[in-house]
Structure 1
Amino acid sequence: MQTGTFFKRVVGVVALTGALVAGAAQAQEARIAAVNSDRILRESSAAKAAQLKLEAEFAKRDKDLQDMASRLKTLSDQLDKNAASLSPTDRASKQSQLSNLDTEFQRKQREFREDLNQRRNEELAAVLDRANKVIKQIAEQQHYDLIVQEAVYVSPRIDITDQVLKALAASSPSATN
């Protein structure tokens, strides 16, 4: 009989431990949400404002590059059209002029792309910084334990991207005007 009593006690302790663990797990259920950062960078008013700012900032340089490309094409077409009637010296001079202009164009185009990419990265980092502050505020106000920004799959039930977009719009400087 002693083994039967011992067995009942062990089963009772195991059952009680299981109930306590299950209760503790329920009491500590984590609140989790997810945010789609790509949507924030595409759809937020802050991201759109940053894009307009970049377009305005780089418009003149872009126009200058387009004008230079047009000059290059015109010179190239003229050289192709008149190459047979030009003296070897004139043809070499025109080819050298065209080559120098092409080299200058490629250099300016490369600098333009590098500067634009650097500024775009700076602007997007500022947008993400603002978004992260808004996400942290939402987490604190709504008592989330974890908010992820990168995931393979996110259930629409826990996706708070729309909420973040609205909060960002409400906190933008233009929303207070």
Structure 2
Amino acid sequence: MKQPAQPARWMLALLLAPALASAQSPAPARIGYVDMKRLLDNAPQVVAGRRTLEREFAARDTALKADEQRLVELRRKQGTLGKDEADALQREIDALDRSIKRNRETMRNELKTRSDQELDKSWRQINEAVVDFARDQGYDLIVPSPVVYASPRVDVTDRILDRLRRDGGKGTTP
């Protein structure tokens, strides 16, 4: 008969560890669950980061939208012109179209980079808040999402969000 794969043994050991620990110690293990997606969507650090990015990119976004509107107007105008004027205007339209595409792609890449930077900063603060909460409240294990099932009884997401909000979106308490 074929033996189970090595990773399956590790998974079994991880699942049984809390039960074995509680069987050997007088107090049962205290386990909590945290929905990381909810934390990342609602943590004040993340919300503040989104607002920062919106302000940072607002002027460029407005300028890009103005160029796009200008392109629409030039294309509309082109239909009313004679052949020679329409051909001359087509070169301007093509140049503006290339410029818009280039600027949009540049802005998209810069926004992605800045979003990743903001998320990395928030992620560290959120992780610290989870660890601090677990230590302060005497948890032995906090399991992050995704999980197959977590009872609302062990879900500590709201309590951690409250802690993050109390800290004013500035990170965890020392």
TM class by shorter chain equals: 0.7 to 0.9
Letter aligned with residue 93 of structure 1: A
Letter aligned with residue 57 of structure 2: F
Structure 2 match to 1:170: 166
Report the CA distance between 1:27 and its aligned residue: 3.1
Report the CA distance between 1:91 and its aligned residue: 2.4
Instruction: Calculate the TM-score normalised by the size of structure 2.
Output: 0.78
Instruction: Calculate the TM-score normalised by the size of structure 1.
Output: 0.77
For 1:77 and 1:43, the matched residues in 2 are separated by: 44
Residue ranges of structure 1 left out of the alignment (5+ in a row): 1-20
Residue ranges of structure 2 left out of the alignment (5+ in a row): 1-19
Matched, 1:76 2:75: yes
For 2:169 and 2:95, the matched residues in 1 are separated by: 47
For 1:115 and 1:152, the matched residues in 2 are separated by: 36
Aligned length: 152
Report the CA distance between 1:111 and its aligned residue: 1.0
Letter aligned with residue 27 of structure 1: P
Superposed CA offset, 1:15-41 (max 9, x none)? xxxxxx8x8356363221111111112
Larger radius of gyration: 1
Structure 2 match to 1:99: 94
Structure 2 match to 1:120: 115
Instruction: Give the secondary-structure state (helix, strand or coil) at the position aligned to 1:147.
Output: strand
Of stretches 160-169 and 115-124 in structure 1, the one that deviates more from structure 2 is: 115-124
Matched, 1:159 2:158: no
For 2:98 and 2:148, the matched residues in 1 are separated by: 45
**1:8-27 paired onto structure 2 within 5 Å:** 24-25=23-24, 27=26
Report the CA distance between 1:59 and its aligned residue: 0.6
Structure 1 match to 2:48: 49
Structure 2 match to 1:40: 39
Give the root-mean-square deviation of aligned CA atoms. 2.4
Of stretches 149-158 and 66-75 in structure 1, the one that deviates more from structure 2 is: 149-158
Instruction: Give the secondary-structure state (helix, strand or coil) at the position aligned to 2:153.
Output: coil
Structure 2 match to 1:6: none
For 1:37 and 1:24, the matched residues in 2 are separated by: 30
Aligned sequence identity (%): 31
